[in-house]
């Protein structure tokens, strides 16, 4: 038997070759390209760090930090490489093999604990998978600081988290520190507005957050928004590698991100500019001009157009008093209007001083071309009438009535000649009375409110007859008629708020779920019920603003005066900051505003 095997073994390779020739279908299909395998979805892994985490006595001169990964990587966002405390110039980064090298253009500070955060900066070279982030802690002195703090930064009006805000803490407690020097430590907020300042000293800090537009870690009030903590803050949390609040989470992991606890809450707002002067002037029509001031609250003592009687000037400031529309009511208007204005203007010493100023408002080439076109024979109908817009919304007519807004101020008006009528389901017509109110913030807008209670099933009509109104251009109005019927869709719902604890004015806004549009607003100053009718099924947000000064505006804050922006709260129900309203529902919510703002 062994003899037979010795004779057959040499024949095996020959048999394999012959078999491959006889059965070519068993060979690889050379017409099908290789697939390359499954797509790489694994982020790069950090394998080595130099100096080691927690290293002490790191040299301050020509410091180099090296991060070595398990694969080739790229620096996707150099701005995300963030050093705290920050230096005057940002860290420099470069790739060397599978390593990221971080260097600094200036020396580090002695006896200082530093953190370098790579979150959002590094991705693999092929598929762009983002590294989840890493923070290296080291010290140029003999020890590592051991305390930490956390918090959230949000917009003061929407309370939405602000991504990429810079949080600054100072051991210098003076008001000028945030304007003049870099902070003792800093951090950036993530997608959830969350930040953590780790390995800081156990002492008292001033805490700020800014939307750092120029990246210099210093507050620029003319360009940036700011938030500040009312009181000094002392951290109470001791740093640990296993501390939940300091772990790196995937930003899409909502549950884990929201579970992080916070020490402080900072609300970003934009301050009023510190300087006051005229920043923009524009002649927008033959008889119309527009002036914009640098800061709100302009104090104007007098205005008139040179060579034109003062009584011929019509002006309208906006609610913030940082812009004014001007009209001249005279048949003959010069090519260049000269506005003589006396107002408080910031002088070279930074003080507000009453100043007389002349503002030239010439007709530019574009406006001259428009005026020349309108003077030709091919005038359109709208070029010879008092232009206005009219509107009425069935869902809000009971609150806001009918709206009429003219393009130019009126110099002749006959509001008592409007025609308001209703037609009932039996087609019987009835003439009704109404009340006209001019808008306190826009002298060209008028609201017409029916005196009677509107009823379902009735059609309501408001007619503006021809030639009742004449504007500053001398043109009369065309006739128009608006029609409205209260919604009768039985799928619509209503929301009733039974408000208590109302000790002063509050602004109540019903918004969309995304908080990007106000559906309806009320201003309340006493305990009462507020009705939001005719709502489609869906999710809504309820915003309440504390209007303590009673001006019916949402006022911003002031850093040097230590004044926060007016407080905003969103109503929370069952741990959700929205109300879900189903079809055919009358939802009643009791809200104690005093408790809400406590």
H, E, C per residue of 479-543: CEEEEEECCCCCCCEEEEEEEECCCCEEEEEEEECCCCCEEEEEEECCCEEEEEEEECCEEEEEE
Q: Is 175 left (phi over 0), alpha (psi -120 to 50) or beta?
A: alpha
Answer yes or no: are the C-beta atoms of 359 and 281 closer than 8 Å. yes
pLDDT at 379: 64
pLDDT at 38: 65
pLDDT at 376: 54
Closest CA to 530 of 548, 558, 559, 506: 506
pLDDT at 21: 45
Per DSSP, helices labelled H in 376-511 are 397-400
Answer yes or no: are the C-beta atoms of 194 and 152 closer than 8 Å. yes
The dihedral through the CA atoms of 114, 119, 124, 125 has a sign that is negative
Q: Any residues with CB less than 8 A from the CB of 211 and at least 6 apart, and which?
A: 162, 164, 165, 166, 224, 225, 226, 268
The dihedral through the CA atoms of 103, 104, 107, 113 has a sign that is negative
Rounded distance, CA 188 to CA 448, Å?
51
Closest CA to 541 of 495, 577, 591: 577
Answer yes or no: are the C-beta atoms of 591 and 498 closer than 8 Å. yes
Q: Take residue 349 and report the two structure tokens written for it.
A: 């010493």
Answer yes or no: are the C-beta atoms of 209 and 165 closer than 8 Å. yes
Work out the number of other CB atoms within 10 angstroms of the CB of residue 272.
Answer: 16
Q: What share of the chain is helix, strand, coil (3-state, %, to 5)?
A: 10, 40, 50
Rounded distance, CA 23 to CA 594, Å?
88
The dihedral through the CA atoms of 300, 301, 307, 311 has a sign that is positive
Q: What are phi and psi of 3, to 5 degrees?
A: -65, -40
pLDDT at 553: 86
Q: Is 515 left (phi over 0), alpha (psi -120 to 50) or beta?
A: left
Is the bond preceding 51 in cis, omega lying within 30 degrees of 0? yes
Work out the number of other CB atoms within 10 angstroms of the CB of residue 448.
Answer: 20
pLDDT at 373: 63
Answer yes or no: are the C-beta atoms of 391 and 430 closer than 8 Å. no
- Run means of pLDDT, 10 residues per run, the chain, 598 residues: 47 46 42 57 92 95 95 92 94 95 95 94 89 93 96 94 97 94 96 96 97 93 93 95 89 91 96 92 93 94 95 94 95 93 94 96 84 63 85 95 96 96 96 96 96 95 96 94 94 96 95 92 96 95 93 90 94 90 95 94
pTM: 0.78
pLDDT at 598: 86
Rounded distance, CA 320 to CA 508, Å?
20
**Residue 192: DSSP 8-state:** T
The dihedral through the CA atoms of 332, 338, 341, 345 has a sign that is positive
> From the CA atom positions of the chain, what is the Rg in Å?
35
Rounded distance, CA 160 to CA 415, Å?
44
Rounded distance, CA 586 to CA 590, Å?
13
Q: Identify the three-state secondary structure at position 268.
A: strand
Rounded distance, CA 406 to CA 386, Å?
7
Provide the greatest CA pair distance for the chain. 132
Residue ranges with strand state E in 78-205: 82-84, 92-96, 99-103, 113-117, 122-124, 135-139, 147-155, 166-170, 185-188, 194-200
pLDDT at 37: 58
DSSP-derived pairing of the beta strands 459-464 and 480-485: antiparallel
Domains and CATH numbers, the chain: 44-142 (2.60.40.3710), 145-270 (2.60.40.1120), 278-371 (2.60.40), 382-485 (2.60.40), 493-596 (2.60.40.10)
Q: Take residue 179 and report the two structure tokens written for it.
A: 């304007």
Rounded distance, CA 449 to CA 433, Å?
9
pLDDT at 273: 86
Answer yes or no: are the C-beta atoms of 164 and 80 closer than 8 Å. no
Answer yes or no: are the C-beta atoms of 217 and 177 closer than 8 Å. no
Please, is 55 exposed, middle or buried when counting C-beta atoms within 10 Å of its C-beta (0-12, 13-18, 19+)? middle
């Amino acid at each position: 038997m062994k003899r037979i095997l010795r004779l057959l073994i040499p024949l095996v390779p020959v048999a394999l070759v012959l078999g491959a020739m006889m059965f070519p279908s068993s060979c690889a299909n050379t017409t099908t390209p290789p697939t390359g395998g499954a797509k790489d979805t694994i982020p790069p892994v950090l394998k080595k760090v130099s100096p080691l985490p927690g290293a002490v006595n790191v040299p301050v001169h020509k410091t180099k930090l090296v991060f070595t990964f398990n694969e080739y990587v790229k620096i996707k966002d150099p701005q995300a490489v963030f050093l705290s405390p920050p230096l005057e110039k940002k860290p420099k980064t470069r790739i060397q093999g599978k390593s990221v090298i971080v260097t600094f253009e200036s020396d580090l500070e002695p006896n200082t604990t530093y953190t370098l955060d790579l979150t959002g900066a590094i991705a693999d070279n092929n598929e762009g998978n983002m590294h989840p982030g890493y923070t290296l802690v080291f010290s140029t002195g003999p020890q590592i600081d051991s305390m930490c703090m956390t918090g959230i930064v949000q917009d003061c009006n929407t309370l939405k988290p602000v991504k990429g805000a810079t949080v600054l803490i100072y051991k210098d407690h003076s008001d000028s520190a945030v304007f003049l020097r870099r902070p003792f430590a800093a951090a950036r907020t993530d997608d959830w507005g969350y930040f953590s300042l780790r390995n800081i000293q156990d002492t008292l800090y001033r805490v700020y957050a800014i939307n750092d537009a120029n990246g210099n870690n210093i507050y620029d009030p003319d360009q940036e928004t700011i938030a500040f903590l009312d009181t000094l803050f002392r951290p109470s949390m001791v740093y640990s590698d296993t501390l939940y609040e300091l772990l790196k989470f995937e930003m899409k992991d909502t549950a884990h991100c929201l579970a992080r606890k916070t020490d402080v809450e900072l609300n970003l707002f934009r301050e009023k500019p510190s300087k006051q002067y005229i920043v923009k002037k524009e002649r927008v029509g033959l008889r119309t001009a527009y002036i914009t001031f640098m800061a709100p609250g302009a104090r104007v003592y007098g205005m008139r157009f040179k060579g034109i009687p003062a009584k011929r000037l019509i002006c309208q400031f906006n609610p913030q008093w940082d812009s004014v529309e001007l009209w001249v009511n005279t048949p003959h208007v010069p090519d260049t209007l000269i506005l003589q204005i006396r107002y408080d203007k910031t002088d070279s010493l930074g003080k507000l001083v009453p100043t007389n100023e002349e503002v030239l408002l010439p007709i530019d080439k574009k406006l001259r071309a428009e005026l020349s076109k309108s003077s030709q024979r091919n005038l359109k109908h709208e070029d010879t009438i008092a232009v206005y817009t009219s509107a009425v919304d069935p869902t809000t007519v009971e609150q806001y009535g009918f709206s009429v807004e003219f393009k130019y101020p009126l110099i002749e008006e006959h509001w008592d000649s409007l025609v308001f009528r209703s037609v009932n389901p039996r087609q019987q017509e009835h003439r009704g009375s109404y009340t006209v109110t001019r808008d306190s913030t826009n002298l060209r807008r008028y609201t017409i409110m029916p005196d009677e209670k509107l009823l379902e099933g009735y059609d309501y009509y408001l007619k503006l007859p021809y030639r009742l109104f004449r504007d500053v251009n001398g043109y009369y109005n065309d006739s128009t008629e608006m029609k409205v019927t209260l919604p009768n869709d039985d799928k619509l719902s209503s929301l009733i708020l039974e408000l208590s604890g109302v000790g002063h004015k509050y602004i109540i806004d019903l918004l969309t779920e995304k908080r990007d549009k106000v559906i309806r607003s009320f201003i309340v100053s006493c305990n009462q019920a507020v009705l939001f009718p005719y709502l489609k099924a869906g999710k809504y947000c309820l915003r309440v603003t504390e209007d303590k000064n009673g001006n019916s505006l949402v006022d911003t804050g002031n850093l040097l005066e230590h004044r926060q922006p007016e407080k905003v709260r969103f109503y929370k129900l069952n741990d959700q900051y929205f109300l879900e309203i189903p079809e055919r529902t009358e939802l009643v919510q009791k809200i104690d505003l005093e408790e809400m703002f406590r």
